[in-house]
Amino acid sequence: MSLASEKKFITEEEKNTLKEIQLKTQSLVIELGEIELVKLQLNKRYDVAKTFLDNLIKEEENFNQSIANKYGKATINPETGEITVLG
């Protein structure tokens, strides 16, 4: 009695389906990698924008303080530059 096993193969259609699944998986991995890269870039942009906001707030506070020191408590019309001293 022979114990040699016979080699078996999937059908051509099954082989094509397997290749298609593998290609889709590779495409998905690439897509997820690109999405992750975009997320990292957005996080960097967000950090830069937060720093810009912090600096802008400080700049505004310094400006307001210098105006208050010079004119006292006042409001300013940004279009005309007219100062209205309060109280």
Write the Ramachandran bin of 7: left for phi over 0, alpha for psi from -120 to 50, otherwise beta: beta
**Helix residue spans in the chain (DSSP H):** 12-71
Amino acid identity at 85: V
Position 87 scores a pLDDT of 75
Position 1 scores a pLDDT of 54
Under a CB-based contact definition with an 8 Å cutoff, are residues 60 and 68 in contact?
no
pTM: 0.66
Position 2 scores a pLDDT of 59
Q: pLDDT per position in the chain (87 positions), as tens? A: 556 689 999 999 999 999 999 999 999 999 999 999 999 999 999 999 999 999 999 999 999 999 999 999 999 999 999 999 987
Q: What is the Cα–Cα distance from 49 to 4, expressed in whole angstroms?
A: 70
